[in-house]
Amino acid sequence: MGTPTAGTLSTTVPPGTDAPVVVDARGVARTFDGRGVLHDVTLQIRRGEFVALLGRSGSGKSTMLRILAQLDTEHDGHLAVPTRRAVAFQDSRLLPWARVLPNVLLGLKDAAGRARGEALLAEVGLADHARAWPKTLSGGEQQRVALARALARDPELLLMDEPFGALDALTRIRMHRLLRELVSRHSPAVLLVTHDVDEAVLLADRVIVLTDGRLSLDEQVDLPTTGRRSDPGFTALRSRLLTELGVGDDDH
Ligand SMILES: Nc1ncnc2c1ncn2[C@@H]1O[C@H](COP(=O)(O)OP(=O)(O)OP(=O)(O)O)[C@@H](O)[C@H]1O
């Protein structure tokens, strides 16, 4: 159970969870031009755990994600992450000169990988768009392809940075549903960076908050997976998180 604290919080896993640790970050710190952006971040994520990372703009969320993705290795502290990891960003980053299926299969060399890629494209409902060019797809469809591409790598760790940030509200709801299905089927550990408190509480098993580069809250989401929004605990947790982010309920 997490408790809001002012200083650095060492994150722990729920009691009784004995799944192996897939992300082990201890005392991670990052400075840019002498300015501290992340300070002493300690975070463990276990196999199959879905963690949402919230924080105000500039709190260091994307910096943390880039470090976990090892796109940024210029940090201090200890970090262990699995080799099999995948990243999805707000823009789908599909290669414009390759059709949809080749985008999903990019870098997958063996037959099993290619079969997994084709199956994933079907799972995101886009098998009939296999030969389409990315630019002919809607934003939501492009994100579905990006998800298929990420999961085709059979990642132990799926890192997502505001993947639904540019989508309209209805498409976002459909993407939430799809992501939940995909994650329960493929069980990667997930770190989802989001601005959206509702998205975090709807999707995650655990929510963490970065405040000025420090983990300031770490809380299990103890809510049923279906009908979550209508559970009384939903509003309570949402409200605690908004307070932690410095936004009153009335402002939202
Ligand atoms: N490559 C960089 N060079 C210099 N400063 C950087 C660099 N990357 C990030 N920063 C700074 O680090 C701080 C945290 O940035 P970061 O992108 O991690 O925040 P964030 O929480 O993801 O914000 P947002 O929600 O607005 O995307 C910001 O002040 C940003 O300007």
Q: Is 209:52 a contact under the CB 8 Å cutoff?
A: no
Distance 189 CA to ligand 1 centre (A): 24
Whether 62 lines ligand 1, by a CB cut-off of 6 Å, is yes
Torsion of CA 110, 116, 121, 123, to 10 degrees: 180
Beta strands in 9-75 (DSSP E): 21-32, 35-46, 50-55
Q: What residue owns the CA closest to ligand 1's atom 2?
A: 32
Whether 194 lines ligand 1, by a CB cut-off of 6 Å, is no
Query: CA 84: distance to chain centroid?
Result: 15
- Report the pLDDT value the prediction gives residue 227, as an integer from 0 to 100: 84
Distance 78 CA to ligand 1 centre (A): 21
pLDDT values of the chain reduced to their tens digit, one per residue, 252 residues: 344 444 445 454 454 468 899 999 999 999 999 999 999 999 999 999 999 999 999 999 999 999 999 999 999 999 999 999 999 998 889 999 999 999 999 989 889 999 999 999 999 999 999 999 999 999 999 999 999 999 999 999 999 999 998 888 899 999 999 999 999 999 999 999 999 999 999 999 999 999 999 999 999 998 888 888 889 899 999 999 999 999 876 555
- Report the pLDDT value the prediction gives residue 2, as an integer from 0 to 100: 40
Distance 193 CA to ligand 1 centre (A): 13
How is 125-159 classified by DSSP, letter by letter? T-GGGTTS-GGGS-HHHHHHHHHHHHHHT--SEEE
Q: String of b and e for 220-249 (b: at least 16 CB within 10 Å)?
A: bbebeeeebeeeeebeebbebbbebbeeee
Among 154, 156, 155, residue whose Cα is nearest residue 115: 154
d(CA 7, CA 12): 15
**Substitution site in 35, 41, 53, 61 for ligand 1 pocket (most atoms within 8 Å of beta carbon):** 61
d(CA 181, CA 206): 17
Q: Of all atoms in ligand 1, which is nearest to the CA of residue 66?
A: 18
Whether 35 lines ligand 1, by a CB cut-off of 6 Å, is no
**Substitution site in 63, 67, 196 for ligand 1 pocket (most atoms within 8 Å of beta carbon):** 63
Q: Of all atoms in ligand 1, which is nearest to the CA of residue 60?
A: 18
Distance 31 CA to ligand 1 centre (A): 10
Q: N- to C-terminal Cα distance for the chain? A: 25
Q: Is 218:191 a contact under the CB 8 Å cutoff?
A: no
d(CA 19, CA 118): 29
Distance 57 CA to ligand 1 centre (A): 8
45 Cβ partners below 8 Å, 6+ apart?
21, 22, 23, 51, 157, 189, 191
Q: What residue owns the CA closest to ligand 1's atom 5?
A: 32
